[in-house]
Structure 1
Amino acid sequence: MPDQYQWPESHSEQTDVLPAIKPPPPKPGEVTAVVPNPPQGAYQGTSAYDEPTVKWGSPEGEPEKPAAKRKGLRTAGFAAGAVVGVLGVLYLVDILTSQGNVPRGVTVAGVEVGGLSRAAAETKLRQEIEPRLGQPVQLRAGEFTMAIEPAKAGLTPDWTKTLDNAGAQPINPITRLTSFFSKREVGFETQTDRAALTAAMEQVRAKVDQQPVEGTIKFDGATPSVVEPKEGRKLDTNAAADLVVKVWVNGQVIDLPVATAPAKVKPDAVQQALAKAKAAVSAPVVIKGEGKDATLSPVAIGAAMQFEPGPDGTLNAKFDQAKVVEAAGPQLKSTEKEGKDAAVVFEGGKPTVKPSEDGMTVKWDTTLAPLVDVSQKPSGRELKAEYEKKPAKVTTEQANQLGIKEVIGEFSTGGFAPESGVNIRVVAQKVNGAIVKPGDTFSLNGFTGPRGTPQGYVEAGVIENGAPAREVGGGISQFATTLYNASYFAGLKDAGHKEHSYYISRYPAAREATVFQNPNGSSVIDLKFTNDAPTGIAIQTIWSPGSITVKIWGTKRYIVESQPGGRTNPTDPQEKPGPAQNCHASNGAPGFTTSDTRVIKDLNGNVIRRDTRNVKYNPQPKITCPPPA
């Protein structure tokens, strides 16, 4: 201690004797303690630290002394510590005994697996979930429903990853405590073949997606009615696939994410269109032609009237011109004039040009332009037909400039039966004078059109499946072969032809052609060639009862030679029974392979190119007929 401070030698020198003071009565709620036999001169009153008032004297009862209180607190502390120690032991035991198990409270797709070992948890999941995984997954998009097969959609359960989602045992004691009273759902994991799932969703989308149906007007004869609008829908395939992966295991119907597309036409626009439709069919419309009129009946108006969405939700009326022409065209046909192309005629063995004639036809687009407005009138419902000239496809001037002045290719065949001769004469008359302009392709089937009885063709002999038969138009292949050879020696470009399946001796091998049409006139086997010359060509046909000749006229530019190849790979005919009726026996003919090379030279004899064509002919079967009954 510092030397300047002097402690007293005795405490007695510092003691003052105070007079006895009677303590005041305790305040309400004040805790007092009564100490019997207080020491003489002791202070009685309230301590400076707000400790309970100590009252000295003889008490009515014995209050707790400060030492006893401290002892009670120590006892309570020991008890609390013991409880904490027990809880700690229980916590450690719980930690140790649950290691490796699925945390308490965990559920997967509604199945409780918390507290189980992973093996037991997987077994339970398989038992309760796996049966539903083989069932089709039900999907719904608005009112549309369908199902997909999980395996085909690439959906496979992943049990290991599913249990991994549950996590490890929690260390937090509060979390462990609350797990006794709560549940925690964890996601189900799926092994996904994304390509297969996307393909499945595209199949769903093809059925779900639909464009909005706009409100419009339809006609039943001359009676119009409203078509109510219907909103469209579009499937979000990516979001749908993600949703299926997430919830397919639940076994419930999955509502797919579908965006809707509202109709654009406003309801009041539909009602306005209905009023226009009723006005349009209220009376006929007359088209005034030159010398004759056409009448559009209310039924014809209703069949041709259409409505299409316009801007800002409107619905605009229009007419299908083709349907109007279908109804009115035949009525005005006599007011039109058919044009004629320039043609090449052969007089005195030389070609001359027969002049073309322009046609006159109704100009339907301008004639029908006011039809919508006229159809709304209560009276004066008339249109004036407008006409226009229709130039010939081949004009006189064009024909004179085609350079058709000399024979550039020619060929003849003969030896046909009378019925075949009739058909050859009819087709020859049709083709005679045909003009093929530079760059154009001639098609025999296309030029003649159908070749049936109405066109003058008769039934004649053909070879069908190697056996003689008869059909309308038989013999046309002989004309096709003759025309093909004429174009061959004219040096024209082959644009497609087909040889007979069986060799016919009157034709040059590998240098012949056949044609065929369906009964409706559609082409099956055709003969085509392209005029690749800078000048035009004309086809001349010369028929006699015993032969057919085709000449190609134009401007000569080539010398053409044919070099036939040898015959190889012979195949013997097989015997084949003929039909029970109308059987025609034949000895058949062997098949073989051969070729033909077209050598094209310029007019000076220099070779320009060689074109070789290889052809395989089938053996013609030997037909045997049954003995007469």
Structure 2
Amino acid sequence: MPDRHNEPDWANQPTEVMPAIGRHRVDQTADQTGDKPPAAGGTPGGPDGAPQPVGNRWVSLAKRRWMIPTAALGVLLLAYLVDLAATRGDMPRGVQVSGVALGGLTQAAAQQTLIAELTPDLRRNVAIRAGQIGTSLAPASAGLRVDWASTIDAAAHQPLNPFTRLASLFGGTTELGVVTSADEARLGDALDGINTMVRREPTDGGVRFDGSTPTAVKPAPGIALDLPAAAAEIKRDWTTGLPVDLPTTSVEPAGHVTDAAVSRTLAEVAGPAVSAPVTVIGNGREASLSPAIIAIALSFAPDGAGGLKPVVDIPKLADAVRPELVTTEQPAKDASVSLIGATPVVTPSVDGHGINYEDTFTGLVEVLKRPVNRQISAVYAPQPAKLTTEQVNALGIKGSISTFSTGGFAADSGQNIKRAAETINGKILKPGETFSLNTATGPRDAPQGYVPAGIIEDGHPARGIGGGVSQLATTLYNAAYFAGMTDTGHQEHSYYISRYPAAREATVYEGAIDLKFRNDLTTGVLIQTAWTPADITVTFWGTKRYEVTSATSPRSSPVPPQTLNMPAGQPCTPSAGGQGFTATDTRTMRDLTTGETKTSTHTVHYKPSPAVVCAPAPSADPAPN
């Protein structure tokens, strides 16, 4: 029997170091074999007392301590890999897109489910709030759409985090939104339409006349849509089903006129200007400018340095004194061409002598500041004919080569059309010369005789100095078109105006939009304008080279108008609006000498003009009994 008194202390160690089942096997074996237990620091003793391995039993026990957790980890890893393989190509468990559960579906089935569930809602108009304006936006007309494939791609990524996958087994969800895109141009058009009702122009400090009484005008900021931010808000939130609030921004007055400048202008210029009449002395005749006329013809504009500068409307002053002074003038007469039967006949020009009103009223502002000695002398000068007999004879003007008329304008627009038409009447284009309407008319402002009139601004009625001149531009464009002129630059209205030919019209805006064409004929061209209170006609005279015809395509790609609801108390002009559409004009020119033809096409996309609904005025409260 082994000497038990020689057992080392390791056999009595606690069971958490050596499990009980392991210790029992060692003791049993030792009793059967008579081997000694391991000596301190060694393996079980041999015949010579040296440490000897006894079946490596103590090493096996140590290894088994790590086998159980390692096996468990292996099982979990295997389960994780099996789950990844089993769900590859499917939507992740628990994923939802805009509230639609897609987990476990194939990507194709998920896309079909998503389209079926969300399409009805996505076709509804989007409620829009902007300041005090309420309206709605049709997603299709604004170019808003859902990218279904990209939405599924974004939602289909299987999570690799094992804890996320474990949580999804017990009902965890992941909520995602749809991926959308927009046609930036169409969305911009829609926002432009909304901005027409939201925008309020800023007011610069100034001085105005109430009758003959000068009054200070306080500056006030304006408001407008913040267009980039508004576009971002719509693209982000249009699918939520909730109203989208569009941000606005303050618009500061451009002139930054100070209160001190307004007070100074009142005291030094505006007040004295209407304190007494001004006498205009002509050759043997006199005329008077009353305070009422002075108030009508005198205005003030920002000077760019925080102050105000006086602006004198010379044509209005000239109209006021001309009846008294006209007998002191001899007006010039331009050479003209008229048809007697089929023969063009040139009426010779006659030079004249008359008042140069620009020079006459140059020093008027200084005179208006005086309390006494308020008079000026008329300045006379030769007035040569604008179109001489020699010019007409040298240019081969044999007859009319084109003519075009438009009508249907208001009285104030008609005044501006007449003023602009007068500036281009008799204009001659030599071969190779380019005509510019903005250059020919010069500034179209109050000093040149232009008045506030109706304009179309962003699809709805508005007013502006020189309104109506676009009608002359359209008339002139068509006369040049049928005369065979070469178009070198024009722009159509953004919104269609029914009295003009679709895709064959033009607008102008001083300093920004012009009408230009070039005379590529071998002979000169004379532009003649004829104005009546009902219509404007432009005729081109020269030697006819081309027979010109026009064909307009049917209207396509209709875009419905947005509806703008104006709150009670806001300035509002109701409008039925109009569809946007696309049209193409084709011009065919046949050479009358050679018979050769050439064609050119021009396509125009018109924006939809918004429909404006004005809120009814609040009814008066009934009188108390």
Normalised by the length of structure 2, the TM-score is 0.44
With CA pairs under 8 Å and 6+ residues apart, which has the higher RCO, 1 or 2?
A: 2
Q: TM-score if structure 1 supplies the norm length?
A: 0.43
